[in-house]
Chain A
Amino acid sequence: MRRDLALAFCLCLATPAVADVAETVTDHILPGYARFSDSAAALGAAAQADCRPAALRGPWNAAFDGWMGVSHLRLGPVEEQGRALAIAYWPDPKATGARQLVGVLAAADPALLEPGAMAEASVALRGLFGLERVLYGPDYAEGSYACGLARALAGDLANTAGAVAAGWGTPGGGGYADALLAAGAAGNASFLDAREARQALFTQLITGLDFIADQRLGRPLGSFDRPQPARAETLLSGRPLRNVALSLAALREMAQTLAPEAAATQAALGRAITLAEKLPDPTLAGVADPSGWLKVEILQQAVHAARDTAVAEIGAALGVGLGFNAADGD
């Protein structure tokens, strides 16, 4: 005989926003995107005034610093229309961006420099890494086309950063911030209850730490027998370690807003940040020799430890974990 079961199946009712999600949105995400958007706009304006590398390296570094404040956030507007890749196409193991730049400089097509045209170009060519190749590359800076290209890339980056910030909006403004803040409200298909909003932010924290350990540190580390110093992020501009330190600091701020009482996580992140700040190897080139490799690996282990601490401590505090299926793999 068929079993009729009275299971608790229901569509969820609205639940009020909780302080943890609200604080992360208002004290971490929105200010972070505002800083990134402002610094990208300043870079765009600087490129309008003077598109020579010497004039743009400072504003480009400021924009990259701004990106480090939010690069761990992979939800919402930045995940639409390929914006995350259009801002930062890295890692790029096949050097697609560099090859495209060679082709673009050789073709010197003026149409690509027209307003709005860059938005239609390949994401591998664009963004912070496209600009880094133009501003720091050995051959690209002198020609007038390269100068115009820097201007077009900077303008495109400013537009993309502005679109992400606008997509988040401000509380009550109807943007993606409200989807998180009003998790569980009627018609909110992004977050069906407050727990889903907490889970989403928790996932950003953990995957952000994974990205630092596995990519920003893991790519140049390679293996002990085969270190890969040339694979470090932003090697041309010499700031691989700065990216690690800034991104760790941003994640510490995020953890603080998400779970202010999570002292062990704060301590573990603090230890990783201290190690990064004290490492006398700004380009991570030291991985090429065994003692330097071990120092970078110690930093990587500290990031792993902070990640594991956050999974246990903040996961428990928020009542969430890594995704049931996402953590499984089959």
Chain B
Amino acid sequence: MRPDRRYFLASLAATAALPRLGWADAGGPAFLAAAQDADGARALYGLSDRGEALFRIPLPARGHAATAHPTRPEAVAFARRPGTFALVIDCISGVVLARLTPPEGRQFNGHGTYSLDGAVLYTSELVAEGSAGRIGLWDARRGYARLGEFASNGIGPHDVKRLPGSDLLVVANGGIETDPADRTPLNLDTMRPNLSYLSPEGQVQEVVELAPDLAQNSIRHLALRSDGLVAFAMQWQGDAALAVPLLGLHRRGAAVRLCPPPEAEALAMRGYAGSIAFDGAGQQVAITSPRGGRIEVYEATGGFVRALARADVCGVGPAPGAAGFIVTDGQGLIARVGAEGLRPLTRAACAWDNHLIPVG
């Protein structure tokens, strides 16, 4: 049971030994999102479920995604790849609690997740030379000291998430080797992405690979339903004229299910899904394409539901309640998407970055 807010404010004033504060004390953000402000500054925002900014924390360079501690109002904001920093931020005070720098020869790749008890932070990383994937381990109980690392079981891992209620990790190994100095892809003709399930010690539990004709479909972003259903979003690196599915669904031990759009919608996403989310009830899943200016919604069983147009849309998360989604775009818009279409909520003088991260 959480004591009320007044108690906390009183205790904050009364003692330096802070009680354990929860996410509600950070102003109750529903989402985190990185942005570029109108003056070019980079920041991480805490957002309400109606798209209102609750806090703003400066970032030293362009952000990408973030991950929220399961209980403490702490978030880690990751740099856009090839990442040289991740900031652990106290979302109540705005203070940077720790600055994570990848070990020599490693680069952050934009995503991370916490262990079930919040004791360990896992980060997706790659060996700069050759892009071999690594999962970095950081001690979230002791100032985020580096604990170690293990292989991600693929090249160029991007998103990493934890299966709800367990400490099993699922990694989107995108398969793309990049130039260590920039983002130039080096192996598009030979890439082999996979979806890997790893134990918290790094033991490979299960690997999903797509058919050879989809080897150029980079598995990059993940959304997890509470029952362990994994939805993954892909980015097609092959012939732009070929219509390929950009959404896949997988459950451990079962066959992967790819979700092609209907023929009339085939090329509208331009072979690119930038973000993915389940709705609150886990009944539907949305993928976004800033390149196609498109949001596609599917049933969690795989069937296509609808598409909506919105230029430069990318971030997506669940709307409050059971149904619908919240999306963000490069024009500063936060909007609700549902059966009724797209309804603007707020607009800011900023460009929202790739991801909208649900908190809590």
By a beta-carbon cutoff of 8 Å, the part of chain A in contact with chain B is 1-3, 5, 7-12, 75, 79, 81-82, 85-86, 90-94, 122-124, 189-190, 192, 195-196, 199-200, 203, 214-215, 323-326, 328-330
Q: Which residues of B contact A94 (CB under 8 A)?
A: 242
Q: Is B123 an interface residue (CB 8 A)?
A: no
Q: Are A1 and B314 in contact (CB under 8 A)?
A: no
Q: Judging by beta carbons under 8 Å apart, are A330 and B56 in contact? A: no
Contact A328 B347 (CB under 8 A): no
Contacts of B94 in A (CB 8 A): 3
Chain A interface, DSSP helix/strand/loop, else mixed:
loop
Q: Bound complex: CA of A11 vs CA of B348, how far in Å?
A: 8
Chain B, range 16-70, C-beta contacts under 8 Å to A: 25-27, 36, 52-56, 64
Chain B residues with CB under 8 Å of A330's CB are 64, 80-81, 110, 158, 220, 274, 354
Task: Give Cα A215 to B94, complex, Å.
Answer: 49
CB neighbours (8 Å) of A214 from chain B are 240
Per the 8 Å Cβ criterion, residues 331-360 of B in contact with A are 331, 333, 341-344, 346-349, 351-354
- Is A85 in contact with B330, judged by CB distance below 8 angstroms? no
Residue B4 at the A interface, CB < 8 A?
Answer: no
Cα(A287)–Cα(B277), bound, Å: 45
Additional pairs, 16, CB under 8 Å, beyond known A10-B346, A326-B291 = A2-B25, A5-B54, A11-B347, A75-B309, A82-B263, A123-B264, A192-B331, A192-B347, A195-B331, A203-B311, A323-B291, A324-B36, A324-B330, A325-B351, A328-B80, A329-B291
A82 touches B264 (CB 8 A): yes
Interface segment, one of B165-173, B196-204, B265-273: B265-273
Please, how many angstroms separate the alpha-carbon atoms of A122 and B266 in the complex?
A: 12
For the complex, what is the distance from the CA of A122 to the CA of B149, rounded to whole Å?
50
Q: Which B-chain residue is minimally distant from A91 (CB atoms)? A: B241
Q: How far is the CA of A315 from the CA of B56 in the complex (A)?
A: 29
Determine whether B290 belongs to the interface, using a CB cutoff of 8 Å to chain A: yes
For A325, give its contact among B53, B56, B220, B329 (CB under 8 Å): B329
B51 and chain A: residue at smallest CB distance: A9
Q: Which one of A9, A81, A192 has the greatest number of beta carbons of chain B within 10 Å?
A: A9
Determine the chain A residues whose CB is within 8 A of the CB of B265 once the complex forms: 82
Pick the residue among A8, A90, A123, A325 that contacts B274 (CB under 8 A).
A325
Contacts of A92 in B (CB 8 A): 241
By a CB distance below 8 angstroms, the chain A residues around B344 are 11, 189, 192
CB <8 Å contact, A324 and B263 = no
A-B CB proximity, top 7 nearest: A82-B264, A324-B330, A323-B312, A325-B290, A91-B241, A324-B351, A325-B314
Choose among A90, A190, A330 the residue with the greatest number of B CB atoms under 10 Å from its CB. A330
State whether the Cβ of B92 lies closer than 8 Å to any Cβ in chain A: yes
Q: How far is the CB of B14 from chain A (nearest CB, A)?
A: 14
Count B-side interface residues using an 8 Å CB cutoff. Answer: 58
The reply to whether A323 and B240 form a contact with Cβ atoms under 8 Å apart is: no
Across-interface contacts of A325 in B (CB, < 8 A): 274, 290, 312-314, 329-330, 351-354
* Closest B residue to A10 using CB positions: B347
- Note all chain B residues with C-beta closer than 8 A to A11: 344, 346-347
The interface bits of chain B over 304-322 (1 if a CB of A lies within 8 angstroms of the residue's CB, else 0) are: 0000010111100000000
Min C-beta distance of A170 to chain B, whole Å: 22
Any A CB within 8 A of the CB of B239: yes
Residue in B25, B52, B158 whose beta carbon sits within 8 Å of that of A9 in the complex: B52
B205 within 8 A of A: no
Chain A residue at minimal CB-CB distance from B346? A9
Report the separation of the CA atoms of residues A170 and B90 in the bound assembly, to the nearest whole angstrom.
Answer: 54
> B186 within 8 Å of A by Cβ?
no
B12 at the A/B interface (Cβ < 8 Å)? Answer: yes
Q: Do residues B56 and A3 form an inter-chain contact, with CB atoms below 8 A?
A: yes
Judging by beta carbons under 8 Å apart, are A5 and B264 in contact?
no
Q: Does B301 contact A (CB under 8 A)?
A: no
Given contacts A2-B27, A123-B264, A326-B290, contact A93 B348 (CB under 8 A): no
Q: Which residues of B contact A203 (CB under 8 A)?
A: 293, 311
- Please determine whether B264 and A85 come into contact, CB atoms closer than 8 angstroms: yes
Complex A-B: 26 CB contacts under 8 Å: A2-B54, A2-B92, A5-B56, A9-B346, A11-B344, A75-B293, A75-B309, A91-B241, A94-B242, A123-B264, A124-B263, A189-B342, A199-B311, A215-B241, A323-B293, A323-B311, A323-B312, A323-B330, A324-B290, A324-B353, A325-B329, A325-B351, A328-B290, A330-B80, A330-B110, A330-B158
C-alpha spacing A314/B264, complex, angstroms: 32
Within 8 A of A (CB), among B246-301: 262-268, 272, 274, 290-291, 293
In the complex formed, the residue of A with least CB distance to B265 is A82
Q: Are A85 and B267 in contact (CB under 8 A)?
A: yes
Instruction: Judge if B71 is at the interface, Cβ distance under 8 Å.
Output: no
Which residues of B have CB within 8 Å of A91?
239, 241
CB-CB nearest in chain A for B239: A93
CB contacts (< 8 Å) of B81 on chain A: these are 330
Partner of A326, one of B330, B341, B353: B330
B101 within 8 A of A: no
Which residues on the A side are within 8 Å of B54 (C-beta)?
Answer: 2, 5
B93 interface residue per 8 A CB criterion: yes
How far apart are the CA atoms of A214 and B81 in the complex, in Å?
27
**Which residues of A are found within 8 Å of B352, using beta-carbon distances?**
324-325
Q: Are A93 and B242 in contact (CB under 8 A)?
A: yes
